[in-house]
Every structure is written in C-alpha cells, then in structure tokens.
Structure 1
Amino acid sequence: MTAIERTRVAIVGGGPAGMFLGLLLARGGIEVTVLEKHADFLRDFRGDTVHPSTLTLLDELGLGPAFEALPQRRITWVGADLDSGPAQLGDLSRLRGPHNYIALVPQWDLLELLADAASKEPSFRLLREAEASGLLWEGADSGAAPGKADDDGAAPAGARVAGVVWKPGGEGEPERHLEADLVVACDGRGSVVRAAAGLEPTAFGVPMDVWWFRVPRDPSDPEGAVGRIHRGQFLIMIDRGDYWQCGYVIRKGADAKLRSQGIAAFRDRLADALPWLAGRLAEAPASFDDVKLLDVRLDRLSRWHLPGFLAIGDAAHAMSPVGGVGINLAVQDAVAAARILRPALAGGGLVPEAVLQSVQRRRWWPTALIQAFQQLAHRAVVGKVLDEDAARAADWTTSEHVPLPLRMLDALPALRVVPARLVGIGPLPEHAPPWARR
C-alpha cells in the first residue's frame, strides 16, 4: 500500500529558492515540507556567489551574524584580463549599503545555515533523499481523492495539482504520496514536477556551454575573481582559497569535439591563455573526468502556474551564467512568493490561481529584463570572443579590437555601477516581510 502523508505546502527542491521559501513560510506559521532528493547539500560546481541583496535579506532574517561566521572570500569589483591590459567592468563598491560586495561561500554552507534556521520552526520539515517523480491530481468537481496522472502522463481533465509523488532513498523503497494544497517547483531548470505539470519553457538560443574544473591556487595568485579573454578563449576563475574554481567557456555543442582532442590539448590552451598557470596544470585537471560540462540554457515559462502549482527560480526561468545572477533571482522569487502566498495560505482552503498569477506578475519583468541583458552579452561579447577565426585574426593587444561594451565600461567609471547593480541587487530587490524577521 502506498504511504500517504499531508502538508499545506510541498516545495520540491532544496536549493536556495526552496530553502528560502520554506524558511519564510514556516516563519509565517504555514506548514511546509521541502523535498530534497540528495542526502546532503554537497555538490561540486554549484553557484557559490551570495549577492548584496541576499546578504541584506539574511540580515533581515537575523541570520547575518551566522553567515558572517562562514569562511568566505569577497569580490568588490568585476574585471577582465585582456591582451591589451586589465579592464574594470563593474564596481560594487559604488553600491549603497553595508554589503557592497559579493560573498563567495560554498553553497552547501548557505543551505545548511537555512536548514538549521528553518528546523527551529515547528511547521517546517525537510525530507532528505526524497526524490520527486510526479504529481498528484485531483478532479476540480469530482471530490475524488488525489491520484496520479494517467499512464501517458497527461493530467486528468479539469484537475488541479494536489500533491507530489516521491521515492525515498534506498533499494526497493516504495513510492510515497505527499498530498498538499500547493506544490512549488524549485527543482531547477530540469524540473521533474514542471514537466509533470505539462509546462514547457520557451528557449532562447545561447552561443556557449561551460566546462567547470579545479586548478590548485598559490598564495601569490590574484585574489577574488579573474576573467581572462584571449583570442578565442574565455576563462572565469573564482578564488576558493587553496584552489581556483574555473569555468572555461566553449562554443555551444563543442564538448565532444574538444574532448576528442585530449586533455593535453586542453592544458595547452589553458597555458596559452594564462601562462602563470602552466606549471601546475599537470596536477589538475588530471583528465576529462575532472571537467564537468554545464549545458547552458536560457529559457522562460510563459505561464508559471496551474491550479495548486507554482514554479519559481530556475524551474520558471533558466538563466545563463553571465553575471552569475541565477541564484539571486531565484532567492528574490522565493521572497516575493512567500509574501504574496502567506495571506491566502493562512486563511485556509485552496490558494486561488489569481494569487499564483500575482507571483508571476511580480517577478516576470525583472526576469525578462535580466535575460535580455544576458542575450545582449551573448551577442556583443561572448559570441565574438568564441568566434575563433575572427578573434585570432584580430590584434587583441590593441583596444580597438576589444568588444565595444567592455571598452565603454573600462573607459567610463561612472557606468560601472550599472552592471554592479544589475548583478549585485537586481532590478527589483525583495525584502523579508515583517512577520519573517527576527
């Protein structure tokens, strides 16, 4: 017999959006269950940037001191190392407020901090090793008990989402049903429950994918973040103390071709782009097993909700890694959703779909704006850098061959606050509601 449980709100995914939403709703007295498919939060190459708006939110939630105690590095400016010399592109020190920097903290540390804070709320529950596999549906007028979709995956006609089908870790464990008045998809750009709801995002073309890997770091190396652009090569390096977390930008779909050339060829490319790395590349990456592909996507749902169902964060809008803003937007989605949903949830009964629509209306335009800027960056900068024939033919030691947006930001310091604000705060920052503050 299938085990059945019930909660007011089921949140699928224990990433930043899911954990912030769970914490906020629990502080608002709403019964909430977060399903995280892994046993812990330890993942390589998760986004580890915590932006000024999120730092302010942590202060508002009374979690600022606990976050400050975590080991971290800070970035106050964003720049690039070009063949023509260094270029400063964004200056976070120009932002107002106490947090005019980006903190680099392992995401698992942030998530554990949120989980610990949420565990103090009696209405919060976190289920680890709980992998969602589908949705429960309930007929709008039939009054029937919640059940799974038809064998072909189609939702029953006129039905609403009424919970989550999930499977605990361990061999031979039977699936379980978690009935809920509202299911929130926070399980990322490959969202299982979004697919089960039949919602398909509109994809925008991207010119790139990213290889993530690690390289040992010496104490004499630069601190913070390093961006290197060199004749057809684009490399981002994030200072993690004793190692660099590196992102090597490749042309979309070129993964298999470049891997076939062998790890030695890749090391040669890295040494060409950054000669000061050459002496340590024999250690890492040791093989292509150490190089993980990020399949870059940029997409957005036209509709984020159904009766009983809401998608936020990457489940509603996958972001390009340009600017590293995906986590920031997901967290702000969660704050807006908690503030808008809580009155309806506290009143009892089902959440009207008009309330779910209000969440999308609030968060749609800042998402669309940031994605438009990312598309512009793809065309004006990334695409030109990855055009190897043009890039290698150009004399990048002279500034006129550097993409125009980079030249303008480097030449006009006052402009650097624009990307700093878009990246660090976003066009529509959200703040913790009074009932969630401590």
Structure 2
Amino acid sequence: MSEHSTCVVVGGGPAGMVAGLLLARAGVEVTVLEKHADFLRDFRGDTVHPSTLQLLDELGLADEFSKLPYSKLEQVVFPVGGDRNVTVADFRRLRVRYPYIAMVPQWDLLNLLAEAGREEASFTLRMQTEVTDLIREGDHVRGVRYRTEDGGTGEIRAELTIACDGRWSIARRLAGLRPKEFPVPIDVWWFRLPRTPDDRPTSLTPRAAKGRFALVIPRDTFLQLAYVGRKGADPEIRARGIERFRQDVAELMPDLRDRIDALATMDDVKHLDVRVNRLDHWHVDGLLCIGDAAHAMSPVGGVGINLAVQDAVAAATLLAAPLRRGAVRPEELAAVRRRRILPTVLVQALQRVMHRGLVAPIVEGRRMGPPGPVLALLRRLPQVSIVPAFLIGVGLRPEHAPPFARRPSMRVENGDPGR
C-alpha cells in the first residue's frame, strides 16, 4: 500500500512532535511515525527548559502545560563540606518569563504536543509504525517504508523525510550518514528512590566523593539519580551486584541510606552509554536529520532535549515555505544545519571540557569536586551563577515560534503558567 504526505517525520519524541506541530500549523501535510504504542516509557531527560517553556507559551500551550504534574528546578547547588553549599547555576537570575527548568514526565509533554497537533487538519500521528527502509529514486529520498505492530507493511511517499529517531537513528543509517564520534570518559547509571518531605524540592544537587559522582534530581513524587562512573564499567558494576551498588550509593549520599533498599535488583539501575557525536552533513537530498539523530549530546548539563526542540523550530521555520510549494532543495536543507551548527558545536565543546575538567577527575579519584578556583569565584561572586544558568536554560541561539505557528496563550502576569 502506497500513501502520500508532503513531509514524513520519523520519531515521535520532542523534536519530532514539535516539528510536526509547527509544520502542520503552516498548512503542510505532515505525518509523524512513532514505533511505540504510546509515550509511556522510562525517559530520564524529562526537562523542559526556560526557552522551551517560552516556546510553549508562544504556541498557546502554556495553560495546558500548567495542568501537567511537574516540579521546578531553580538552582544547581554543590555541597562543599559540612552544611555549606555553592550555587553553580541560578535560573532565578535569568531575565526570562520562566526562570526555572520544569521537570515533567516526558510522556505528558508528548501527549500535550500530540493533542495540539490533532487540532490541525494537516497533522497525522501514526503510532505502532516503525520505519524499515527509505524509498529512493536515484540519490533522492522519496519517503519511507514501514511495518506496523500487527505485521502490516506499507510505504509513504513524501517530498521530505525528517529523521528525529534519536542517537541510534535508523533513518540516518539507511541514508548512509555516519556521525563523527568524540571521546567520552564516562557512562551514567539511572535509578529512582522515594522522595520525602525533607528533600530539597527546587535544587539539583550533585554529590561527589573520591571515585564517585552523582546527581540528585527532584521530581514531583520521587528522586531521580544519575550515578556517574568511568566509561565501560557497566559489566563490572553489574557483576558486583546490587548490595555493593547500594553500599556505594549510601557512602556517597548518607542522607539517602534510609531508602536505598528501594533498589531491589540491578534491573532497577539503567545504564546509559554516553555518546557525544555529530554529523558533518545533516541531510541528503530529500532527508534531514535533527536532534540526537544529527548530534548526540552528553547528559552533562541536561541540554539535549532543549537543543533538539530548537532544531525542530529552526527546521519548521526554514522549510515550511518550500514544503508548501512542494519542492525542497538541498541548499534549503543545508540551511538548517548552518543555523544550528554553532550552538551545537559550542555546547558539545563545553560538555567535553566539563568531562575533562570536572567529571572525569572525580570518577578517577583525582579530585573530590569542582576545581577550587571555580568554587572560590562562585563564592565570591554569586552573580556569576547566571552564566551556566543561561547556557543550560536558554542556550546560545534560542529559537522562537514562527508567526504562522503562534497562538494566544493564557498565562498569569508573574510568568508562572497557572501554578
């Protein structure tokens, strides 16, 4: 069975859903393909940054977003001994409408975007539909072939295919695009622990000791923890077993010792093989990669989702008119990369510096925390905490909704969307 859509978006994550919604609001016939039956999966990067909150406001979705369960992250605070803390990033200092990161279940955000998309006549979301191949005519990609959950197959011919299917992108691989990999010294192990009323609700708190590093992220009903260790250590950590892992966590975070038994087995600990990579070219004729499909980011700084969403906004802004006329030239696809490459390169460079200068020395046992001069500067000039807050929360080239996608938004005057 052969179908047609002006644009096919592969992957229903944040980048794919934002790209699909914006293009549909431009009047482009767009079909988003998501291989899962729903969005109820264990995402770890459930962050909505100030620039993305601003985008939702511009799209007229702030009021609906305010109804979702979320917690606010206003600061990144590093313990430096005893009861002393140093604020590394203070989002409250940002002169933006939403001076915080919203920690919201990603499935709720994706459902919100899906509902907004369904209000547009030219938007189609197909769940349980996995891309298996690209349709080619010579060097030009003309759409995709797919398989559904029940074993059915078909194809959708399209003027443009946008690959938003993550750092292991099938569409990217089928197009013959290979990212350049950068060395990464760390991996991350994610797990959850119960939250109590005494837990600080508005701060992300890194914990460091010799050879150990972790981040405690407050969520609405639980604590999400990222345990950072050396690259390739997953087999060793799993071989040591859950008892030893609990002991390591309790020694690093004694205040969480009373709830560490919530980790029943190592199956409760999810390994992330951290990658930092980037495509030299984000497109071939008829196909464009954005988000993690174009550039995998380290979880350091938590900026991957924010960058992916901004890629999607840039792509929709630049490509809506060519898609409406029914022909997208390769140079128009290349314009998306030109617009987004500088923030991508700079953020990845900053992440690699943080790997070498902050995280790796801790997990290798060479240092117990951030470099002394950095801590001294932040203690002496706390206003400097606005710099990492801006880089994390806003970014080096924030994108705004194009005029064709904007809708009126209900919001309160203090910048907090109804909460």
TM-score by length of 2: 0.94
1:255 aligns with 2:234: yes
Q: CA deviation at 1:86?
A: 1.8
Match of 1:352 in 2: 329
1:341 aligns with 2:319: yes
Match of 2:383 in 1: 414
For residues 338 and 320 of structure 2, what CA distance do their matches in structure 1 show? 17
Map 1:56-205 onto structure 2 (within 5 A): 56-83=54-81, 85-139=84-138, 159-170=139-150, 173-205=151-183
For residues 161 and 30 of structure 2, what CA distance do their matches in structure 1 show? 10
Q: Residues 381 and 403 of structure 1 are in contact (CA less than 8 Å); yes or no, is this contact kept in structure 2?
A: no
1:183-239 residue CA offsets vs partner (Å, 9 max, x unmatched): 000000000000000000001111111111111111122223221112221111111
Q: Residues 5 and 29 of structure 2 are in contact (CA less than 8 Å); yes or no, is this contact kept in structure 1?
A: yes
Match of 2:413 in 1: none
Pairwise CA RMSD: 1.4
For residues 113 and 294 of structure 1, what CA distance do their matches in structure 2 show? 27
1:73-126 residue CA offsets vs partner (Å, 9 max, x unmatched): 101111222446422101111111221111110000000000000000000000
Q: Residues 10 and 163 of structure 2 are in contact (CA less than 8 Å); yes or no, is this contact kept in structure 1?
A: yes
User: Quick one: higher RCO (CA 8 Å, sep 6+), 1 or 2?
Assistant: 2
Q: Residues 62 and 437 of structure 1 are in contact (CA less than 8 Å); yes or no, is this contact kept in structure 2?
A: yes
1:111-163 residue CA offsets vs partner (Å, 9 max, x unmatched): 00000000000000000001111211013xxxxxxxxxxxxxxxxxxx20011
For residues 352 and 184 of structure 1, what CA distance do their matches in structure 2 show? 14
Q: CA deviation at 1:429?
A: 0.5
One-letter amino acid matched to 1:341: L
Match of 2:404 in 1: 435
TM-score by length of 1: 0.90
1:323 match: secondary structure:
coil
Aligned residue pairs total 405
Q: Residues 179 and 280 of structure 2 are in contact (CA less than 8 Å); yes or no, is this contact kept in structure 1?
A: yes
Q: Residues 163 and 172 of structure 2 are in contact (CA less than 8 Å); yes or no, is this contact kept in structure 1?
A: yes
For residues 45 and 434 of structure 1, what CA distance do their matches in structure 2 show? 31
The counterpart of 1:324, out of the listed 288, 295, 302, is: 302
1:270 aligns with 2:249: yes
Match of 2:5 in 1: 7
1:256-308 residue CA offsets vs partner (Å, 9 max, x unmatched): 011111111111111111111112112x2110011111110000000001100
Q: Residues 69 and 220 of structure 2 are in contact (CA less than 8 Å); yes or no, is this contact kept in structure 1?
A: no
1:379 aligns with 2:348: no
Structure 1 residues 329-338 or 65-74, which shifts more?
65-74
Q: CA deviation at 1:69?
A: 1.4
For residues 302 and 15 of structure 2, what CA distance do their matches in structure 1 show? 15
Q: CA deviation at 1:416?
A: 1.1
One-letter amino acid matched to 1:110: L
Q: Residues 45 and 212 of structure 1 are in contact (CA less than 8 Å); yes or no, is this contact kept in structure 2?
A: no
For residues 40 and 295 of structure 2, what CA distance do their matches in structure 1 show? 24
Q: Residues 30 and 122 of structure 2 are in contact (CA less than 8 Å); yes or no, is this contact kept in structure 1?
A: yes
Q: Residues 409 and 416 of structure 1 are in contact (CA less than 8 Å); yes or no, is this contact kept in structure 2?
A: yes
Q: Residues 380 and 403 of structure 1 are in contact (CA less than 8 Å); yes or no, is this contact kept in structure 2?
A: no
Q: CA deviation at 1:408?
A: 3.1
The counterpart of 1:242, out of the listed 201, 221, 224, is: 221
Aligned residues with identical type, % of pairs: 52
Q: CA deviation at 1:375?
A: 0.6
For residues 92 and 29 of structure 1, what CA distance do their matches in structure 2 show? 36
Structure 1 residues 63-72 or 19-28, which shifts more?
63-72
1:370-412 residue CA offsets vs partner (Å, 9 max, x unmatched): 0010010000001101112x34xxxx5xx8x845434433442
For residues 168 and 409 of structure 1, what CA distance do their matches in structure 2 show? 53
The counterpart of 2:392, out of the listed 417, 420, 423, is: 423
For residues 48 and 381 of structure 1, what CA distance do their matches in structure 2 show? 23
Q: Residues 72 and 201 of structure 2 are in contact (CA less than 8 Å); yes or no, is this contact kept in structure 1?
A: no
Q: CA deviation at 1:246?
A: 1.0
For residues 86 and 223 of structure 1, what CA distance do their matches in structure 2 show? 16
Q: CA deviation at 1:369?
A: 0.5
Structure 1 residues 21-30 or 76-85, which shifts more?
76-85
Q: CA deviation at 1:359?
A: 0.4
Larger Rg: 1
1:322-366 residue CA offsets vs partner (Å, 9 max, x unmatched): 110000000000001000001111112x20001001001000011
One-letter amino acid matched to 1:321: P
Structure 1 residues 82-91 or 335-344, which shifts more?
82-91
Match of 1:50 in 2: 48
2:115 match: secondary structure:
helix
Structure 1 residues 410-419 or 312-321, which shifts more?
410-419
2:161 match: secondary structure:
strand
One-letter amino acid matched to 1:280: R
Q: CA deviation at 1:43?
A: 1.2
2:301 match: secondary structure:
helix
Which consecutive unaligned segments of at least 5 residues does structure 1 have? 140-158
Which consecutive unaligned segments of at least 5 residues does structure 2 have? 408-419
